[in-house]
Copies of this chain bind each other. A is one copy, B any other.
Amino acid sequence: MTSSTVSDLPTFDHVLAAAERIRGYAVLTPLLESSALNKRLGFRLLVKAEPLQRTGSFKFRGAFNRLVQLDEAERKRGVVAFSSGNHAQGVAHAAEILGIPATIIMPADAPAIKLANTRGYGADVVTYDRWTEDREAVAARIVSQRGGTIVKPYDEREIIAGQGTAGLEIIEQAAARGITIDAMAANSSGGGLIAGCALAFAARSPATKIYCAEPAGFDDHARSLAAGTRLQNEPGASSICDALMATTPGQLTFAINSARLAGGLVATDAEAKRAMAIAFNELKLVIEPGGAIALAAALHGRFPGNPGTIAVVASGGNVDPALFREALAA
């Protein structure tokens, strides 16, 4: 794969264009809150409910925005994506809607629900070993064999722009209720969602402080932002947040995030589970572990200073029932 240049970087105009493209295809997910929870926390907490998005995560936004721009010849050759699960489903379903053949490369140990759903959207799923094989190499091999366009999970202009529509919606939904957002956070793996959100907030709500949120042991963004350069996660860490396991920030996403983010927040797996249980009780929303880290950070006081009004993205809800039951029992 070729390395990226500055001209590949999305701007707020790309986010606006993406918002037009996904209208009527993506769900305008609600910005939820619980007055009981706000009372307990002592600040106002808004939760963007992306588990209610098509395919159960925000990933449909970027995938659809990317695929809908392919020309006829590209559509015929099909698309290839690699993903731990949510990008897989987003690409598979966007491809299904647009009539594009999709091959998805997923880790063999991805949650059963994500594998099953991806196949349910009509994609050809190819599994690989997360520990011994390089997914980008597997993707490249498949493209060399079958042809097709690789749809990267985060380090691509139109993917970042598509994910940014979630941030744009938060701003618009809050404004419609007369709410000013003091700080916001989104979970980051490769950093595409928070990068897109950062573009939207910079343009439309520049006073809002923007954070990414990561599970303990996978805080490559937090450390990279502090160091001013892209760092890797230490090998050997484990987490129930299967959606947040990229080993290092993306090139494009870090170019945006290092310029715009106030820092990175970290929460533990146990805190993610507790956040899932609170979302169940107070918001009636199903969130997967990796979708709950930003919420966990808010609930556990990780936002620096006086929190004011905080918005977080609950980024996905594709969690196996056994793990969800465990979170409710904790």
Q: Which of A7-15, A160-168, A210-218, A278-286 contacts B (4 or more CB under 8 A)?
A: A278-286
Q: Say whether chain A's binding surface is mostly helix, strand, loop, or mixed.
A: helix
Contacts of A328 in B (CB 8 A): 321, 324-325
CA distance A325 to B49 in the complex (A): 22
A51, chain B: closest CB distance, angstroms: 4
Closest to A36 in B: B120
Q: Which residues of B contact A281 (CB under 8 A)?
A: 113, 321
Question: Within 8 Å CB of A117, what residues of B?
Answer: 36
**If A52-B285, A285-B285 touch, does A321 touch B280 (CB 8 Å cutoff)?**
yes
Among listed A24-32, A225-233, A240-248, A252-260, interface-contacting one: A24-32
Q: Does A90 contact B (CB under 8 A)?
A: no
Residues of chain B within 8 A of A36, CB atoms compared: 117, 120-121
Residues of B within 8 A of A4 (CB): none
By size class, the interface of chain A is 35 or more
Q: Is A1 an interface residue (CB 8 A)?
A: no
Q: Which residue of B lies closest to A316 (CB)?
A: B284
Q: Judging by beta carbons under 8 Å apart, are B285 and A321 in contact?
A: no
A317 to chain B, nearest CB (A): 3
What residues of chain B lie closer than 8 Å to A27, measured between beta carbons? 30, 32
Q: Is A329 in contact with chain B by the CB < 8 A criterion?
A: yes
Contact of A30 among B30, B93, B283 (CB under 8 A): B30
Q: A199-212: contact bitstring with B at CB < 8 Å (1 yes, 0 no)? A: 00000000000000
Docked Cα-Cα span, A324 to B325, in Å, equals 8
Residues of B contacting A121 with CB < 8 Å? 35-36
Beta-carbon contact of A284 and B283 below 8 Å: no
Closest to A56 in B: B284
Q: Are B284 and A51 in contact (CB under 8 A)?
A: yes
Q: Which of A27-74 contact B (CB under 8 A)?
A: 27-30, 32, 35-36, 39, 49, 51-52, 54, 56
The contact sample of 5 A-B pairs, CB cut-off 8 A, is A32-B52, A35-B96, A284-B287, A321-B329, A325-B329
Given A39-B120, A321-B329, A324-B328, 8 new contacts (CB under 8 A): A30-B30, A32-B52, A35-B96, A35-B121, A49-B52, A52-B284, A52-B285, A56-B284
